[in-house]
Amino acid sequence: MSTLPKPQDVGKTVVETPKQLLRVYFPKITVLITTISREGRVNIMTAAWHTPISLSPPIYGVSISLKRYTYELLKEVPEFVVNFPTIDILEKVNLAGTVSGREVDKLKELGLTPVQAVRVKPPLIRECYAHLECRVIDMKEYGDHVWVVGEVVAIEYEERCFTQELLVDIAKVKPVLYLGKGKYTTTENKVYTP
Ligand SMILES: Cc1cc2nc3c(=O)[nH]c(=O)nc-3n(C[C@H](O)[C@H](O)[C@H](O)COP(=O)(O)O)c2cc1C
Protein backbone atom coordinates (compact mmCIF):
# COMPACT_ATOMS: atom_id res chain seq x y z
CA MET A 1 0.00 0.00 0.00
CA SER A 2 1.17 3.50 -0.79
CA THR A 3 2.64 5.48 2.06
CA LEU A 4 2.17 8.70 0.15
CA PRO A 5 -0.48 11.10 1.47
CA LYS A 6 -3.80 11.20 -0.41
CA PRO A 7 -4.60 14.38 -2.34
CA GLN A 8 -7.60 15.03 -0.05
CA ASP A 9 -5.31 14.85 2.99
CA VAL A 10 -3.13 17.67 1.66
CA GLY A 11 -5.97 20.03 0.77
CA LYS A 12 -6.73 19.01 -2.85
CA THR A 13 -10.23 18.67 -4.24
CA VAL A 14 -10.45 15.56 -6.45
CA VAL A 15 -12.56 15.26 -9.62
CA GLU A 16 -12.09 11.64 -10.65
CA THR A 17 -14.27 11.62 -13.74
CA PRO A 18 -14.15 15.15 -15.14
CA LYS A 19 -17.02 15.85 -17.55
CA GLN A 20 -15.29 19.01 -18.63
CA LEU A 21 -11.74 20.32 -18.48
CA LEU A 22 -11.50 22.62 -15.45
CA ARG A 23 -9.75 25.94 -16.01
CA VAL A 24 -6.84 25.11 -13.71
CA TYR A 25 -4.23 25.68 -16.47
CA PHE A 26 -4.89 29.42 -16.69
CA PRO A 27 -3.47 32.10 -16.83
CA LYS A 28 -2.35 31.66 -20.43
CA ILE A 29 -0.81 34.12 -22.86
CA THR A 30 -3.43 35.15 -25.36
CA VAL A 31 -2.93 35.71 -29.09
CA LEU A 32 -4.85 36.79 -32.16
CA ILE A 33 -4.93 34.25 -34.98
CA THR A 34 -5.40 35.68 -38.46
CA THR A 35 -6.73 33.55 -41.30
CA ILE A 36 -8.07 34.27 -44.79
CA SER A 37 -10.69 32.80 -47.13
CA ARG A 38 -10.01 31.69 -50.70
CA GLU A 39 -11.61 34.96 -51.82
CA GLY A 40 -9.34 37.03 -49.55
CA ARG A 41 -11.69 37.71 -46.61
CA VAL A 42 -9.58 38.15 -43.47
CA ASN A 43 -10.64 36.90 -40.03
CA ILE A 44 -9.24 37.37 -36.52
CA MET A 45 -9.81 34.94 -33.63
CA THR A 46 -8.56 35.13 -30.06
CA ALA A 47 -6.76 32.01 -28.82
CA ALA A 48 -5.33 30.98 -25.48
CA TRP A 49 -4.79 27.30 -26.32
CA HIS A 50 -1.58 27.47 -28.32
CA THR A 51 2.06 26.46 -27.84
CA PRO A 52 5.44 25.98 -29.48
CA ILE A 53 5.96 22.33 -30.48
CA SER A 54 9.43 22.19 -32.06
CA LEU A 55 12.42 24.52 -31.98
CA SER A 56 14.15 23.28 -35.14
CA PRO A 57 12.42 23.23 -37.47
CA PRO A 58 10.16 25.80 -35.81
CA ILE A 59 6.66 24.33 -35.39
CA TYR A 60 3.70 25.87 -33.54
CA GLY A 61 0.31 24.45 -32.54
CA VAL A 62 -3.11 25.97 -31.89
CA SER A 63 -6.20 24.19 -30.63
CA ILE A 64 -9.28 25.38 -32.50
CA SER A 65 -12.86 24.36 -31.86
CA LEU A 66 -14.65 22.57 -34.69
CA LYS A 67 -17.31 25.31 -34.49
CA ARG A 68 -15.03 28.24 -35.30
CA TYR A 69 -15.18 30.15 -38.57
CA THR A 70 -11.37 30.15 -38.27
CA TYR A 71 -11.39 26.36 -38.68
CA GLU A 72 -13.49 26.68 -41.85
CA LEU A 73 -11.03 29.21 -43.24
CA LEU A 74 -8.04 27.00 -42.37
CA LYS A 75 -9.57 24.23 -44.46
CA GLU A 76 -9.81 26.70 -47.38
CA VAL A 77 -6.37 28.31 -46.99
CA PRO A 78 -4.13 26.29 -44.64
CA GLU A 79 -2.09 29.21 -43.36
CA PHE A 80 -2.33 31.39 -40.25
CA VAL A 81 -0.50 34.09 -38.34
CA VAL A 82 -0.11 34.07 -34.54
CA ASN A 83 -0.12 37.74 -33.41
CA PHE A 84 0.92 38.72 -29.86
CA PRO A 85 -1.14 41.64 -28.47
CA THR A 86 -0.65 43.69 -25.30
CA ILE A 87 -3.11 44.62 -22.58
CA ASP A 88 -3.50 48.07 -24.26
CA ILE A 89 -5.84 46.51 -26.80
CA LEU A 90 -7.60 44.17 -24.38
CA GLU A 91 -11.12 45.19 -25.44
CA LYS A 92 -10.37 44.29 -29.04
CA VAL A 93 -8.76 41.00 -27.98
CA ASN A 94 -11.83 40.11 -25.92
CA LEU A 95 -14.22 41.06 -28.73
CA ALA A 96 -12.30 39.00 -31.32
CA GLY A 97 -12.90 36.09 -28.95
CA THR A 98 -16.62 36.63 -28.45
CA VAL A 99 -18.04 37.31 -31.93
CA SER A 100 -17.64 35.12 -35.01
CA GLY A 101 -16.24 36.23 -38.33
CA ARG A 102 -19.25 34.51 -39.88
CA GLU A 103 -21.38 37.45 -38.68
CA VAL A 104 -18.92 40.32 -38.39
CA ASP A 105 -15.96 41.65 -40.33
CA LYS A 106 -13.80 41.74 -37.19
CA LEU A 107 -10.83 43.44 -38.84
CA LYS A 108 -13.04 46.41 -39.72
CA GLU A 109 -15.17 46.34 -36.58
CA LEU A 110 -12.15 46.26 -34.26
CA GLY A 111 -10.24 48.90 -36.20
CA LEU A 112 -7.09 46.78 -36.35
CA THR A 113 -4.54 47.35 -39.11
CA PRO A 114 -3.62 44.51 -41.50
CA VAL A 115 -0.01 44.27 -42.70
CA GLN A 116 1.09 42.06 -45.60
CA ALA A 117 2.81 38.90 -44.35
CA VAL A 118 6.00 37.94 -46.17
CA ARG A 119 5.37 34.21 -46.74
CA VAL A 120 1.68 33.50 -46.06
CA LYS A 121 -1.62 34.97 -47.26
CA PRO A 122 -3.28 35.99 -43.94
CA PRO A 123 -2.04 39.41 -42.76
CA LEU A 124 -0.17 40.39 -39.59
CA ILE A 125 -1.92 42.74 -37.17
CA ARG A 126 0.13 45.89 -36.84
CA GLU A 127 -0.97 46.65 -33.24
CA CYS A 128 0.68 43.42 -32.00
CA TYR A 129 4.38 43.26 -31.03
CA ALA A 130 5.34 39.91 -32.58
CA HIS A 131 4.03 37.55 -35.24
CA LEU A 132 4.56 33.95 -36.32
CA GLU A 133 3.68 33.19 -39.94
CA CYS A 134 2.62 29.54 -40.14
CA ARG A 135 1.80 27.00 -42.87
CA VAL A 136 -0.40 24.15 -41.71
CA ILE A 137 1.40 20.80 -41.83
CA ASP A 138 -1.17 18.79 -39.88
CA MET A 139 -4.70 19.02 -38.44
CA LYS A 140 -6.09 16.38 -36.13
CA GLU A 141 -9.33 16.27 -34.17
CA TYR A 142 -9.18 15.72 -30.42
CA GLY A 143 -12.61 15.80 -28.76
CA ASP A 144 -14.36 19.05 -29.66
CA HIS A 145 -11.19 20.78 -30.91
CA VAL A 146 -8.77 20.44 -33.82
CA TRP A 147 -5.07 20.51 -33.11
CA VAL A 148 -3.70 22.70 -35.90
CA VAL A 149 0.04 22.33 -36.40
CA GLY A 150 1.92 24.90 -38.44
CA GLU A 151 5.48 25.21 -39.62
CA VAL A 152 6.70 28.71 -38.75
CA VAL A 153 7.93 30.12 -42.07
CA ALA A 154 8.61 33.73 -41.00
CA ILE A 155 8.73 35.73 -37.77
CA GLU A 156 8.30 39.48 -37.28
CA TYR A 157 8.87 41.37 -34.04
CA GLU A 158 9.33 44.92 -32.79
CA GLU A 159 12.90 45.27 -31.57
CA ARG A 160 11.94 47.89 -28.98
CA CYS A 161 9.81 45.26 -27.20
CA PHE A 162 12.69 42.80 -26.72
CA THR A 163 15.88 42.77 -24.64
CA GLN A 164 19.36 42.35 -26.14
CA GLU A 165 19.15 38.60 -25.58
CA LEU A 166 15.85 38.59 -27.50
CA LEU A 167 13.54 37.97 -24.58
CA VAL A 168 10.29 39.88 -24.29
CA ASP A 169 11.08 43.07 -22.36
CA ILE A 170 8.35 42.99 -19.75
CA ALA A 171 9.23 46.51 -18.65
CA LYS A 172 7.77 47.58 -22.00
CA VAL A 173 5.39 44.79 -22.97
CA LYS A 174 2.31 43.86 -20.97
CA PRO A 175 1.10 40.60 -22.53
CA VAL A 176 -2.54 39.58 -22.33
CA LEU A 177 -2.96 36.66 -19.92
CA TYR A 178 -6.34 34.96 -19.90
CA LEU A 179 -7.81 33.71 -16.62
CA GLY A 180 -11.02 32.24 -18.09
CA LYS A 181 -14.65 33.43 -17.93
CA GLY A 182 -13.91 36.79 -19.57
CA LYS A 183 -11.22 37.75 -17.04
CA TYR A 184 -7.65 38.74 -17.81
CA THR A 185 -4.44 39.74 -16.11
CA THR A 186 -0.94 40.77 -17.14
CA THR A 187 2.64 40.56 -15.86
CA GLU A 188 4.24 42.72 -13.20
CA ASN A 189 7.58 44.32 -13.95
CA LYS A 190 9.72 41.73 -12.19
CA VAL A 191 12.07 39.14 -13.67
CA TYR A 192 13.20 36.17 -11.57
CA THR A 193 16.41 34.27 -12.40
CA PRO A 194 16.56 31.20 -10.16
C1 LIG B 1 -9.35 34.91 -24.23
C2 LIG B 1 -9.98 33.93 -25.19
C3 LIG B 1 -9.28 32.82 -25.60
C4 LIG B 1 -9.82 31.91 -26.50
N5 LIG B 1 -9.10 30.82 -26.91
C6 LIG B 1 -9.60 29.99 -27.85
C7 LIG B 1 -8.82 28.90 -28.34
O8 LIG B 1 -7.66 28.72 -27.99
N9 LIG B 1 -9.40 28.09 -29.25
C10 LIG B 1 -10.67 28.27 -29.72
O11 LIG B 1 -11.15 27.50 -30.55
N12 LIG B 1 -11.42 29.30 -29.27
C13 LIG B 1 -10.91 30.17 -28.37
N14 LIG B 1 -11.65 31.23 -27.94
C15 LIG B 1 -12.99 31.44 -28.51
C16 LIG B 1 -12.94 32.09 -29.89
O17 LIG B 1 -12.00 33.14 -29.94
C18 LIG B 1 -14.34 32.65 -30.22
O19 LIG B 1 -15.28 31.60 -30.26
C20 LIG B 1 -14.36 33.44 -31.53
O21 LIG B 1 -15.55 34.16 -31.58
C22 LIG B 1 -14.24 32.55 -32.74
O23 LIG B 1 -14.18 33.35 -33.88
P24 LIG B 1 -14.41 32.82 -35.35
O25 LIG B 1 -15.75 32.10 -35.38
O26 LIG B 1 -14.42 34.10 -36.17
O27 LIG B 1 -13.28 31.92 -35.71
C28 LIG B 1 -11.13 32.13 -27.00
C29 LIG B 1 -11.85 33.25 -26.59
C30 LIG B 1 -11.28 34.15 -25.68
C31 LIG B 1 -12.07 35.35 -25.26
Cα 37 versus chain centre, distance: 20
Mean of pLDDT values over 46-57: 98
80 lines ligand 1 (CB under 6 A): no
Residues 6+ apart with CB under 8 A from 189: 170, 171
At 162 the pLDDT is 98
Residue 118 pLDDT grade (very low, low, confident, very high; cuts 50, 70, 90): very high
Pairwise CA distance, residues 61 & 55, whole Å: 12
- Residue 1, pLDDT > 80, answer no
Residue boundaries of the structural domains of the chain? 24-185
Calculate how far, in angstroms, residue 155's C-alpha sits from the geometric centre of ligand 1. 23
Contact call for residues 139 and 148 (beta carbons, < 8 A):
yes
At 170 the pLDDT is 95
At 76 the pLDDT is 98
69 lines ligand 1 (CB under 6 A): yes
Q: Hey, which of 37, 45, 103 would you mutate to test ligand 1's pocket, going by the most ligand atoms within 8 Å of its Cβ? A: 45
Residue 186 pLDDT grade (very low, low, confident, very high; cuts 50, 70, 90): very high
Domain covering 24-185, topology: Pnp Oxidase; Chain A (2.30.110)
At 194 the pLDDT is 96
